[in-house]
Structure formats: C-alpha cells, structure tokens
Amino acid sequence: MTRIYFSVVNVVVTLFLFTKSDIKTTVLPVAKNKGFFAMAAAPMTNILRLPHVLFWIWLHLLQFDVSNQTINLEEDAINKKDRPIPSGRITLNSAVILRWALVPLCLALSTLYSAETVYASIALVTFTLIYDEMHAHAGHWLVRNVVNALGFASFEVGASLIAGSNSHALDADGVLSVLVSAGIIATTIHAQDFKDEDGDRAIGRRTVPICFPAFARWTIVIPLIVWSFVLSTLWQLDTLMSCALTVLAIFIGGRYFFLRSVSGDQVSFYWYNVWLSIAHALPGYYRIRHT
C-alpha cells in the first residue's frame, strides 16, 4: 500500500509540474484566468459549476502543456529546468504517450456537457497540434500570436459553455467577450516573450522581441493603452474605473519600457496578467450593471 501511495503521489506531482507555470495564469481566478473569464462571460448561474469549469480548463491545459513540453526540450533545458522532462521525473517517450492519451480524455470529458463543448475541445486540440507539432510556435511571430489567440478563444468558449445556464450556446455578450479577448491576446500575448528572449534566441524562435529589438516594447505599451480605452467604452466603465485601468496599462507599459532585465520582465509579465485579469472580468461588471 505504501508503494502504491507514493506512486500515486508521484504521478499527481508530475502532472502538477507540467501545468505549474500556467496554474496562476490560466486556472486560478487571477491573471489571464479562463475560469474567471467564464464566470463573467457566461455568466455563471450556479457556483457548483465552478469545479466543473476549473477541471475542464486544467485537463485541457495539461493536454496543451504536455504537448508543448515534448516539443520544446531545448528551451526548457535552458529556461525551465524544473519541468518533468528536463528534471528527469518522466521520460520523453512516456510524456509523448501521455500527450496523446489526454486527447480522448479531453473529448470524453466534454461530452458530459454538450456537443458544442466537444467542438470547443476539438478546436483546442487542433490549435495545440498546429502550435506544437506543426511548429507554429517557432514560426513567424504573427502566426504564433494568432494561433495563441484562437487557442485561448477555444478555452474561453468551452469554459463559458460549462459555466452558463445554456451549455449549447453563448449569448451576444458572451460572444463579444470571446472576440474581444481573442483580439487582446493576438495583439499583446508576446508580453510573455521578453523574459524568455535568451532561450528563444538559442533555439531560433522568431518572437517580437527578437525580430524587432528597437521598438518591440512599444508593441506592449501602445496596445495596452488602446485596449484600455476600447474596454472602457465597450463595457461602459465609469470614469474612476476607466482611469484606473488606463493608469495600470501605462504603469505596465512603463515597466516593460524601462526595466529591461530578465527579472524585470518577469515581474512586468505578472503585472500584465493582473491587467488581463481585470479585462476578462469586465463583461461580468457590465452584466451586473445592466441586470
């Protein structure tokens, strides 16, 4: 029994480590959290749906992360040595088997909710395949940003369908929320690339910081400020909230522009996730004001 217990614990820890770096930004209700987004965009009518939403997100995130980490061995060996493959917790062959075993598990889980949730799962699996196995992650920065945006949109649609009272369709505000979120991701997701520039350069990746070293940081400053104005208008924020969102965007942009060390970029990315979390919560704010 003791051996079985430690084996189970080892498996659980290994699975957690695959998703560890994304837990705070994708699963928990902070940063670019799809669970938080789903509660606002759906909106969530029953708090008992929250565990369903979070588990659906986590399992699909695990599918993406295992796929990504079986592809980016060189990058992880440089930037993220504590991940399961470079740390030796799991072999590459075992990780590849796990990667493909997770696909039917994700689809099977989605069948418990609706056909439309299955479609979102299929879309997410497809964009994962394009991003990783078809090497969009190492291609042109524009393709990478667009595929990222479509993948995040798939996360959001699936999670919102599970969160809402109708698992077969999103209402007009929900659809608009997903479209706006995809636009934000497509134009700002490279905020994550500045802290990884050394590793990305070592494996030949063509990210925005590498392709446009002279003005790459302006591509964070300007979009964050512009999106703050757009969101303020779209979700009808009052003056105080609009100013706070815009000031936060200027603060983050200033950090990216002036604090250019790896540690500085890591902290700036955390602040970017705070702004993104607020942006994802605004549809809920809008719904509450217009209920």
Cα 269 to Cα 220, 255, 273, distances in angstroms: 11, 9, 6
Question: Looking at residues 159-187, what average pLDDT do you find?
Answer: 89
pLDDT over threshold 60, residue 129? yes
Question: Looking at residues 99-114, what average pLDDT do you find?
Answer: 97
Q: Could you read off the pLDDT of 2-49 as tens digits, one per residue?
A: 665 557 788 888 998 898 877 655 554 333 445 556 655 656 667 788
Question: Looking at residues 251-256, what average pLDDT do you find?
Answer: 97
Distance CA 103, CA 271 (A): 33
262-289 core/surface letters (b: 16 or more CB in 10 A; e: else)? eeebeebbebbbebbbbbbbbbbbbbee
Beta strands in 118-193 (DSSP E): none
Residue type, 24: K
Distance CA 288, CA 291 (A): 5
Could you tell me the two tokens for 37? Answer: 């987004």
* CA 66 and chain centroid, separation: 15
Give the containing element (helix H, strand E) for 193. none
Q: Are 262 and 268 in contact (CB under 8 A)?
A: no
pLDDT of residue 290: 74
Look at the block and give the residue holding tokens 């189970």.
8
pTM of the model: 0.85
Distance CA 40, CA 94 (A): 38
Percent of the chain predicted with pLDDT > 90: 56
Distance CA 265, CA 260 (A): 6
Q: Are 158 and 169 in contact (CB under 8 A)?
A: no
Report the candidate in 147, 152, 154 with the shortest Cα–Cα distance to residue 132: 147
State the angle between helix axes of 92-111 and 115-131 in degrees (0 to 180), rounded to the nearest 10. 160
State the angle between helix axes of 34-41 and 50-71 in degrees (0 to 180), rounded to the nearest 10. 140
Distance CA 97, CA 119 (A): 23
What confidence tier does 76 reach under pLDDT thresholds 50, 70, 90? Answer: confident
Domain ranges of the chain: 31-205+212-289
Distance CA 247, CA 64 (A): 34
132 three-class SS: coil
Q: Could you read off the pLDDT of 264-286 as tens digits, one per residue?
A: 999 999 999 899 989 988 988 88
Question: Looking at residues 52-63, what average pLDDT do you find?
Answer: 91
Q: Could you read off the pLDDT of 211-230 as tens digits, one per residue?
A: 998 899 999 999 999 999 99
Report the candidate in 137, 120, 148, 131 with the shortest Cα–Cα distance to residue 57: 120
